[in-house]
């Protein structure tokens, strides 16, 4: 399906763009002479930009529509790569990365709106597979970064090569994205959301809560799983990176199959059972201790939490562009706030209790899922 591959190209481009500049943080640190604290602020600037982008994204979604907003924000993110490489100093780099975060918020909302429209228009589940291509884009960026660095240490050369890849992805997506002023498929379809500001319903706030705690779970596992294996489970140094590998691998695998699960059991059951599996599996692993239980618990988190964000994005899109923009912003806030929160708890009470907060966050997602009005999409 041309529309699905076009939207997938957008998801791939976002994962590719973010992973491209994140992979060169050490080189940027050296080039600009940054301290560790300044690097932390630089990384946080992207999250802050995305978190505060909600009002702008909501306005642009109503005025431009998801198709034009997705293409414009993707082009902007492409241009920011060479701009970051050419940044003359730390303040300029902070500005570029903050604008990057705003454009990430725009593209994240627009591409998920396109994915939801694809499902609604054609009556087929696709959102989980689309989110899997985001991870594929990150992997592609890592491979390009490794290959380019082996040839030249130049960040500018690397980012220009990455920008060329992004231009190809955007060019492919441009002709296949769904229009905002026509139904996605012949026949009757869902009514187009009103263009004026709409009041957010109670279920929208439950979606925001589910998204925030779901992304807290995702982000914290990526940042703290390896450290838990090394410092708490006492895993050998060569096994510590398996924490991230297990979580990420299970998430990609689950997202490849999650659309079939959604069609068979419905979004509500997938979210409730998945988040409950993530929370209880991790809690049991923490209580058991040891490397093997930890890896099994991490696998439960990756498997269980993988379909939460795709399902919530679909539900939010049905509430209108304002709801989708706010839910997307809350997702970024969860990714931004989760790792520092776990670090604060770990510093006060130990990393085991910090990871217990992650298990609790997954259980909160299950609670929120009971309050959301889900609409099944078959495929």
Please calculate the CA angle 340-344-349 and round it to the nearest 5 degrees: 145
Confidence of residue 191 (pLDDT cuts 50, 70, 90): very low
Q: Which of 73-82, 86-95, 223-232, 253-262 has the lowest mean pLDDT?
A: 223-232
**Res. 190: pLDDT tops 60:** no
The per-residue pLDDT of the chain, averaged, comes to: 86
**Res. 359: pLDDT tops 90:** yes
pLDDT of residue 2: 79
Q: Which of 71-80, 141-150, 333-342 has the lowest mean pLDDT?
A: 333-342
- Give percent above pLDDT 70 in the chain: 93
Mean pLDDT of 60-72: 93
* pTM score: 0.80
Q: Which of 205-214, 243-252, 293-302 has the lowest mean pLDDT?
A: 243-252
Q: Which of 17-31, 131-145, 188-202 has the lowest mean pLDDT?
A: 188-202
d(CA 272, CA 154): 47
**Res. 187: pLDDT tops 60:** no
In the chain, CATH 1.20.1250.20 sits at: 2-174, 202-369
Inter-residue contact 217 to 301 (CB < 8 Å): yes
Mean pLDDT of 12-23: 87
Query: Closest Cα partner for 365 from 275, 262, 277?
Result: 275
Burial code of 40-72, b = ≥16 C-beta within 10 A, e = fewer? eebebbbbbbbbbbbeebbebbbebbbbbbbbb
4-13, 26-35, 134-143, 145-154, range with greatest mean pLDDT: 4-13
Long-range contacts of 134-137 (CB under 8 A, 24+ apart): 134/11, 134/12, 134/14, 134/15, 135/15, 135/248, 135/251, 135/252, 135/255, 136/12, 136/15, 136/252, 137/11, 137/12, 137/13, 137/14, 137/15, 137/16, 137/17, 137/19
d(CA 281, CA 123): 33
Confidence of residue 186 (pLDDT cuts 50, 70, 90): very low
Confidence of residue 199 (pLDDT cuts 50, 70, 90): low
d(CA 318, CA 328): 14
| The domain over range 2-174 is classified in CATH as 3.10.129.10 | no
d(CA 288, CA 76): 48
pLDDT of residue 75: 97
| The domain over range 202-369 is classified in CATH as 3.30.450.20 | no
Mean pLDDT of 282-304: 94
**Res. 233: pLDDT tops 60:** yes
């Amino acid at each position: 399906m041309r529309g699905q591959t076009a939207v997938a190209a957008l998801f791939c481009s976002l994962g590719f763009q973010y992973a491209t500049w994140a992979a060169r943080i050490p080189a940027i640190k050296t080039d600009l002479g940054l301290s560790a604290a300044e690097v932390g602020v630089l990384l946080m600037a992207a999250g802050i930009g995305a978190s505060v982008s909600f009002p702008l994204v909501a306005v642009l979604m109503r005025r431009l529509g998801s198709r034009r907003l997705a293409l414009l924000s993707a082009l902007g993110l492409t241009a920011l790569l060479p701009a970051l490489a050419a940044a003359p100093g730390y303040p300029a780099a902070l500005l570029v990365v903050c604008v990057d975060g705003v454009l990430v918020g725009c593209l994240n909302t627009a591409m998920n709106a396109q994915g939801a429209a694809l499902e609604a228009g054609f009556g087929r589940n696709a959102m989980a597979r689309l989110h899997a291509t985001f991870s594929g884009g990150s992997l592609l960026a890592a491979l390009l970064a490794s290959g380019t660095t082996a040839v030249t240490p130049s960040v500018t050369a690397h980012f220009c090569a990455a920008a060329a890849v992004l231009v190809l992805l955007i060019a492919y997506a441009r002709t296949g994205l769904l229009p905002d002023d026509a139904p996605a498929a012949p026949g009757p379809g869902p009514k187009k959301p009103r263009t004026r500001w709409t009041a957010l319903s109670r279920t929208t706030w439950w979606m925001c809560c589910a998204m925030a705690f779901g992304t807290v779970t995702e982000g914290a596992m990526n940042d703290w799983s390896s450290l838990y294996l090394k410092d708490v489970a006492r895993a050998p140094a060569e096994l510590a990176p398996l924490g991230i590998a297990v979580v990420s691998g299970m998430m990609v695998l689950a997202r490849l199959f999650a659309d079939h699960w959604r069609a068979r059991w419905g979004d509500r059951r997938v979210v409730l059972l998945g988040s409950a599996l993530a929370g209880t599996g991790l809690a049991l692993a923490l209580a058991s201790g040891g490397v093997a239980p930890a890896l099994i618990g991490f696998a439960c988190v990756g498997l269980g939490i993988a379909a939460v964000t795709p399902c919530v994005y679909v539900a939010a899109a049905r509430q209108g562009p304002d709801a989708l923009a706010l839910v997307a912003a809350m997702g970024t806030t969860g990714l931004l706030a989760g790792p520092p929160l776990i670090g604060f708890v770990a510093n006060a009470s130990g990393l085991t209790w910090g990871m217990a907060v992650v298990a609790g966050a997954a259980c909160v997602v299950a609670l929120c899922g009971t309050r959301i009005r889900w609409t099944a999409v078959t495929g």
